[in-house]
Chains A and B, each alone.
Chain A
Amino acid sequence: MALHLAILAVLASLASALAPIPFHRSHRLLKGLAFLLLAISGIAAVTGGFLALFAEKPAELLLPVGLPWLHCHLRLDPLAGFFLAIIGLITLVVSLYGPTYVREYQGGPQPLLVLTLFTGLFVGGMYLLVLAADAFSFMASWEIMSVSSYFLVAFQHQHAKNRAAAFLYLLMAQVGGLCILLAYGVLAAFGDGFTFAAMASAQLDSSWSTIAFLLAFVGFGMKAGVVPLHVWLPQAHPVAPSHISALMSGVMLKVAVYGFIRFTYFLLGDILWQWGVLTLFIGSASALLGVLYALMQHDLKRLLAYHSVENIGIIYMGLGLSMIFAGSALPGLATLGLIAALYHCLNHAVFKSLLFLGAGAIIHQSHEHDLEQMGGLIRRMPVTAVCFLVGCISISALPPFNGFVSEWLTFQAALQGSALQGGVLSSLIPLAAAVLALTGALAAACFVKVYGIAFLGLPRSRHARKARIPQPAMLTAQGILAALCLVLGILPTWTVGVLNRIARDLLGHGLPEATAHGWLWLTPMDPRQASYGAPLTLLGIGLACLLAYLLLHPRKQTPIRTGAAWDCGFGPLSPRMQYTATAFSMPLRRVFRPVWSVSEGLEDTGTGRAYRLKIGDWAWLKVYQPLGALLLAAARRVTLIQGGNIRAYLAYSFFTLLFLLWVIV
């Protein structure tokens, strides 16, 4: 049943790609059909995923398609079901949001059909990927996902910037895909065939399994966007249409995490603690650098893209802790880390999609990407402002919303480091917790900046002053995600109870204590050790607010007097006197200066002098640019043989033929 629903989801998304083709002349019909089918696929995927989470045993199916000797194996176990449900959920919300959002592209230089075609293929590829149970169908759906998202990134290809971002994305996706292919190759060489079942039973010695792990780490890390493989992310996400950014950032990165978990926990099995150290280190670096780079951005979508790097880092930290514990024969603690990571996957999918949809609503209404041009939007778009605030609180890991719960679980996992034998390791792990604390605090600073600059204060441009309320469908989509942020935040015991099933499936061990004390209390290890009463927190805040309001508010209601804000007696305030996003982050820029390549100064603009600030990414400047230059130089050398002389070419062919004959005979 669950697997049938999942297949229905795949078929519906493929239909949403293909069915509207005959109707491409009518925008209305095209949009309606495409997004309706996408919504159906989302519902089917969520239902199927949930059924799989509660199923007794995984459903399997052999489809008679694919290579002659390797048919397409499908398998839906709790892990796949969980990620299938995440994809379905965000797809459903996006299909609610999409029809009004894409109105912007109607009558533009690109036909709308391109957008719906590749959206359907993209979503279908992701569904198929989590269902795949052999390397061939996995790689095929991986490529469908990568290539169709390339076309979505390049959708507005009239801008050179977008083409460059899309090309970089495709390049890195292909390199990553190659690494994953090689990793499967190692497993297939030791196992008997390309099915996951055969690979999982392969007996590898530790050096070969480490090689396979490293290849998979690079391959999946490139798609997930961990530092230093993240450079495509802040370029590709901002240029895609906003609902696609929500899908890419909220879901596609999680699919990469799924691949990593599937490969490490399911296919490799015997986890070494050294892998965990690497994952934890890279995760910590991604989390910290991601948030620091995000702080310096003032393009809203670019900023959110850097926050994806941060959150993927937090997920990797949970996974790294889990792998360290798993490699040290502490399955209970390994479960805690894994559950923290999976919970953060779900949370990040929800709040990051919410933020991207909110950013999309702002862009749709004001046509501004730049924070420095926004301001005062809370008056123009109040519902979006409330939903966006929920997203900001969630991503800043503040109680009682969802981001806090998963970070709290990660903290709890990190605090168990003293259970390990090695002194160095058990003192390094709390340091990772400190990095996580710094990341959370910096994220809060960053989102105070985003919300304060974009929604509060005075409008900084004419566009921001003229923004209008978005259409109800767009608001509903944001409202659903905002409500989910709260539900996942105050009912963590239910979610952990569900995630327990995945952990039991992968590690053979659950967290029985976590949910043993009723739905009010989340107690990962032991109630005496740590507990968090999320519903009571919300109740407490609500009650205290209500009491303060009832007791302290005057009975006599007089209209509140308003006056001008304090201007130091110098005359009226103008929007230009407000703090800007650049000014807000200036103290932190000074504190963490070596992290970025900063160039600032004054430049003459003809009419006056202007402050100029450029923030560069060291990874891009020091690793990718030299590498690109090197490749280009090497390619130039090779062009020497391409002289344009027909006799030389004939000679090449002749010698190649001779060489081949020599090799074969």
Chain B
Amino acid sequence: MNTDRLVQLAHGGGGRLTRELIEREIVPRFGNGPLSGLPDGATLPSPGDRLVFTTDSFVVHPLEFPGGNIGHLAVHGTVNDLSVCGGEPKWLSLALIIEEGFAFSVLARILDSVREAADACGVTVATGDTKVVARGQGDGIYINTAGIGLALTGFVLGQERICEGDCVLINGTLGDHGMAVMSARQNMDFVKGPVSDTGSVQRLVAAVHEFGAEVRFMRDPTRGGVAAVLNEIVEGREIGILLKERDLPLAPATRAVAEMLGIDPLHAASEGRLILFCSREVAPAILKRWQALPNGEGAVCLGTVTRDKGRVVMETVTGGRRLVDVPRGELLPRIC
């Protein structure tokens, strides 16, 4: 076995090998900005009065899946969390927890993806940390990123601002990430299988901040999918949401796998989608603007806000109506 190509416990020990890992893998990719000289913390210029700050941990299995890897997710997840709060993402921290025996070749691919995604989003990896845990104590690699963004002026966001008649918009197809990971996890080798939508929504957010108070609320439908986000919003409120099954945007491969596994695509996670509530008046203008942007081509109106207290209801293709419930526990396959 060729051990010099695998991460050893000593790579996290603080000695010569740690230095080597940082200098070979981190500095060439991220060492130009605030990380240059490897200070214990980053000193950053204040970008404005109000900041947005968030953190997220990434433990996806498998680490690489159709459409991306854990490195892309680690950037997009945090960038998107900042964006949906009305922030313009500026800086990220990057903390790696690597399992002993992890291949440097995979680590390099993941870090390349972090770099590529951060560049595309215009964010800087400003500080970081690397630890190594013993074999069996981690699942290859876990990543945590925290992010700081500048709060964009103009937005007045809040769930409580959503009212009857508002429109629910989304920038593309539902549940692609969830179904891509699920297919990869089960080794379903499709010729044209589902592809993760991992991507950034920050430009879509920046494109609508001038609509100010007409934009009520934004959220990214990650774990639990669109169903979880919509139910959370109407729970305990006087409002409900009506979706039309005919209008649900679904990628053919995602739809096929969801049918096979018996999973509702409304319950499957996205990692590059944005749900936006806005007044009916501005919805067409927002859709038009989004459709001209990358990651916005597939933007549609998913549904409308109703007076149906606390309920998310879908008008089905056959003309019936049904409740759209929150997913329960693990996403499980159907057995017959």
- A and B are interacting partners: no
- The chain A residues found within 8 Å of chain B, CB to CB, are none
- The chain B residues found within 8 Å of chain A, CB to CB, are none
